[in-house]
Chains A and B, each alone.
Chain A
Amino acid sequence: MEPCEFPHIEEQLGPILGRHGGDATRLLQILREVQDCFHFIPPEAVSCLASHLNLSRAEVEGVAGFYSFLSLTPRGEYRVLFSDNITDNMLGKAELMQYFCNKLWVEPGKVSEDNLVSVDSTSCTGMCDQGPAALVNGWPLTSLDNNRLDLVAELIRIRKPVAEWPEMLFEVRDNIRRPGMLLGEAFEPGAGIRATLARGAEATLKEVDASNLRGRGGAGFKTASKWSFCHAAIAEEEGSMICDVGGHPERFIVCNADEGEPGTFKDRVLLSSHADLVFEGMTVGARVVGARKGFLYLRGEYRYLLKPLEAVLERRRAAGLLGENILGEAGFVFDIEIHLGAGAYICGEESALIESLEGKRGRPRNRPPFPVTRGYLGRPTVVDNVETFACAARIAEKGGAWFAAMGTAQSTGTKILSISGDCARPGIYEYPFGVTVEEILRDCGTEDAHAVQVSGPSGTLVSWQEFGRRIAFEDLPTAGAFMVFHRQREMFAAAHNFAHFFAHESCGFCTPCRVGTQLQKRIMDKIAGGHGTPADLEELKQLGHILGTMSHCGLGHTAANPVLDTLKKFPGTFERKLKALSFEPAFDLDGALATARSITGRDDEWAHLL
């Protein structure tokens, strides 16, 4: 047996397990704490957790291996992860990361000899309006430049605990440039709940219905339908439902704050400055569907918001807006718990999010059954986007007709856009639906914009010829990302970046996506390396078709979008990179013999392939 490096693991994990009541559905939360404690998940901890939580080692290790912020091998005492979104790269991420690595004598992806520090890339951290950004032990660093990195390197060298670092390094600005009815108008906490109680749950559902509110996560499902399905599911299955709380069938409200789509950061701002609106919307939803418990699933990248959000929840409890008998209404019980993710884009998919909430790997479920009938712990669950709940709070307060008066016929209300990339004023813009891309570009200060990636890599690439198109479910649906590229940008680089993103974030469950995203990445690498041929472009199109039609969930369905869109709208950016009209090998044949040449000491003509 290997020598055990953590002989006192039982005692060390005791308090963590105690805090979580030895509850296996809290495995992810437990593993996060273990990771914080040891800078990785030691094998002894896996065994210990497995036995205490009544799980197999494979289950614990499976969860620990799934999330990118957890690690089964030791990481540095300081773990610095540079955000790898295209907008960070356009601001010089690659050079900065190299500069930082050189400074600390460490190679990207490896741990320094003294176990002090490890440096790597991570998917978009949601700081695109103030990039290049990074995370140090989970805390966000923004607006990085050489000076700031010098300081960070120095702080690491003298082993100063991250909690004692200068606050200016962690400053995250809201950058609200254009407020609307969600961000601009004052909101008195409790106003939405009060109106709901006065009107009644059923009448409130009617208001939400009349508002025609649709999900703000991008898919645009009608919120009132979702809420009433959840309600109806209970009525249908009452007989067989598991009754948990005093004979009541349990229902759940989940707020999806796993804002992982590269280029999206509107939920970050809603949660930092308008959390009351979000929690209020969840409470209204709870009243309508009859839920007693809610979760906010907060992406791991936003853990810095955890404390402030807990404080808001505490204040709301004290004000009688959460807990027992809310606002004096007997029997109106609802409370909210925050769960932290750990770096997995796929957990933004609602059924994967629920799996993750249950402490498992974030693997999308088969749908149907949809979460509204069988969600968290098999119970009816409403999963809505942060912004959707914020809208719901306003609707509860001001009524459906007021809301429906804004926007277009099929897309009522406003949409918050997070704008980044080549523009003078990146940040948060709230528009009534129906606004054209051109108007937005004018507002955020762009000259010679060439293309916009709307709704992130999984969305749509809009070329300069289409700037008259509108942000609306009828035309360009979006979860909020709006990344601007000017004329000098090579659009291939963006598609290449997104191909890497999807290959990294595929959950690995279904073969078309697991393998397809890797193949797509390799072909894009080949073209980027100057070895592409027209045959590779054909291969990309075929792959895109397979990904789009055969994958298990939305990640795979959309993983080829950026490549296919760029091929269609900016074919030149690919063609300029192609080497020959005939076939080119996928790798450097002669280079792949170099190792064998050095081992054997040969350099004769047969030891080369030219």
Chain B
Amino acid sequence: MSDVKKVRIATCSLAGCFGCHMSLLDIDERLFDLLEAVEFDRTPLTDIKHCSPCDVGIVEGGVCNAENVHVLKEFRKNCKVLVAMGACAITGGLPAMRNNIDLWDCFQEVYQYEGGLEGGQIPNDRELPLPFDKVHPIYEVVKVDYFLPGCPPSGEAIWKFLTDLLAGREPKLDYEQLHYD
């Protein structure tokens, strides 16, 4: 083992589906190479609950509620480089489809009108994060350094992006890695 300090990476999924994290695992055996060079801080893989100072933060998913903002701000505060990974983080993505529906209508449909509900009440426990009127891309809440597009980005794209970043190059994806049909 070399003495070179490993690059510390944190990841999280906000209003996303974890598909981008699954895609990260799709780099398969190259995970071993990755682990030679990096160590993971807070991620769903390590189950560490809070972020400590890191080199790179990778965020999947958009911002749909108050808790997302707390997590995102914690990442921004601790990570030197912040990456928006996947369509939801970059644009709001699929969860943002609710943006055309009034929040009140949403709540009523889910908690009061849905078949099988009786005397349905809207949950108001203070431990539950409050949802925003609309789902937002993360760049609207914190400064984002890089955008890694795709739904999800392929394992290849993620690998290319990370290896560029680790090598100190400006990350650049080839046309094939940005072309989805």
Contact = CB atoms under 8 A, between A and B. Distances in A.
A405 B65 CA distance: 70
The B interface, classified by DSSP as helix, strand, loop or mixed, is: mixed
B112 to A, nearest CB: 11
B128 to A, nearest CB: 8
Given A593-B66, A599-B104, A586 B143 contact: no
B140 A596 contact: no
Interface in A349-394: none
A585 B140 contact: yes
B69 A589 contact: yes
Nearest to A603: B126
Interface string A591-610: 01111110111101011110
Given A596-B103, A599-B104, A535 B143 contact: yes
B130 A587 contact: no
A607 B107 CA distance: 17
A512 to B, nearest CB: 15
Nearest to A604: B126
A583 interface: yes
B136 A586 contact: yes
B124 A601 contact: yes
Interface string A475-486: 000000000000
A607 B140 contact: no
Contacts of B134: 592
A602 B141 contact: no
Interface string B139-156: 111110000000000000
Contacts of A599: 103-104, 107, 122
Given A599-B103, A604-B126, A592 B132 contact: yes
Interface residues of A, number: 21
Chain B contact-residue range equals: 20 to 34
A606 B136 CA distance: 19
B74 interface: no
A596 B125 CA distance: 12
A607 B126 contact: yes
A113 to B, nearest CB: 20
Contacts of A609: 66, 69
B133 interface: yes
A596 B132 contact: yes
Contacts of B139: 586
Contacts of A592: 132-134
A430 to B, nearest CB: 49
Interface string A570-590: 000000000000010111010
Contacts of B130: 593, 596-597, 600, 602, 606-607
A602 B129 CA distance: 11
Nearest to B70: A609
A587 B107 contact: no
Contact of B132 (A535, A583, A593): A593
B123 interface: yes
A600 B141 CA distance: 24
B67 to A, nearest CB: 9
B131 to A, nearest CB: 5
Contact of A602 (B69, B104, B124, B133): B124
Contacts of B124: 600-602
Interface in B50-104: 66, 69, 103-104
B123 A606 contact: no
A589 B141 contact: yes
Contacts of A593: 66, 130-132
Nearest to A522: B140
B140 A587 contact: yes
By Cβ-Cβ distance, the 6 closest A-B pairs, closest first, are: A586-B140, A600-B124, A596-B130, A583-B143, A592-B132, A604-B126
Interface of B: 66, 69, 103-104, 107, 122-124, 126-127, 129-134, 136, 139-143
Given A595-B133, A608-B66, 4 more contacts: A593-B66, A595-B104, A596-B130, A609-B66
